[in-house]
Each structure stands twice: as structure tokens, then as C-alpha cells.
Amino acid sequence: MAKKLWFFCCFLLSLFIFIFGIKWLEINLLKSNGLITTPSFRVMSASDSFYDKTTSVNQMWQTDFTYFKIFGWGWYYLSTILDDYSRFIVSWELWLYYFRQ
């Protein structure tokens, strides 16, 4: 029971950190507890800026779908929508299962 509670607390903390953008702390915390591993290669890297610059809020949104495995709990899928200009998360959704249509 204590092990499941520990994993759940780590999951909630990592979700909070992910939403508020402290990605390096989330990765180090999960790695130090052996909950995630680092991929051996990078498929692609992001650029520093977009070709079409935004000048106000709600001109362009970005989406990201990511999945991560919490040992003892399974796979979790996170979808976020980010406003390009303000860099605030407009919406997010966390799923336990990935559904295809």
C-alpha cells in the first residue's frame, strides 16, 4: 500500500511540475526514483521560434500529446494545448487509455 501511495504522490508531483513548465525538475525526480528511463536518441529537435510570429493571444495554438509509464500504475497519456503568444496552457487532458477512432 505504501509503495502505491509513493508512486501516486510522485505521479501527482510530476503532473504538477509538467503543467507549470519545470520539465528538468520533473525528469530528475522521476529518474532518481527509477520511474523513467532516458531514450538513447532524439528523433527531432524543436526550433527556437516559429516562421509565422504571433502578435496577440489566440492567433496560434500548439498541441502536444505525450505518454509516460509509471511503474506499478501503467501508461498515462497527456494532451495539452498551449497558446503560442502567451505560452499559457489553454487546456489539458489526462487519460489512462489511448483511444483511436
Q: Where are the domains of the chain?
A: 2-36+59-95
Q: How far apart are CA 67 and CA 3, in angstroms?
A: 22
In the three-class reduction of DSSP (H, G, I as helix; E, B as strand; rest coil), residue 93 is classed as strand
Q: How far apart are CA 95 and CA 46, in angstroms?
A: 25
* Cut 0.85: pTM above it: no
pLDDT digits (tens, 9 = 90+) for 5-59: 777 767 776 776 666 655 666 667 777 777 776 666 666 677 777 677 888 999 9
pLDDT on residue 7: 72
Place of cell 496560434: 60
Name 18's Cβ contacts closer than 8 Å, sequence gap at least 6. Answer: 26, 78
Place of cell 505504501: 2
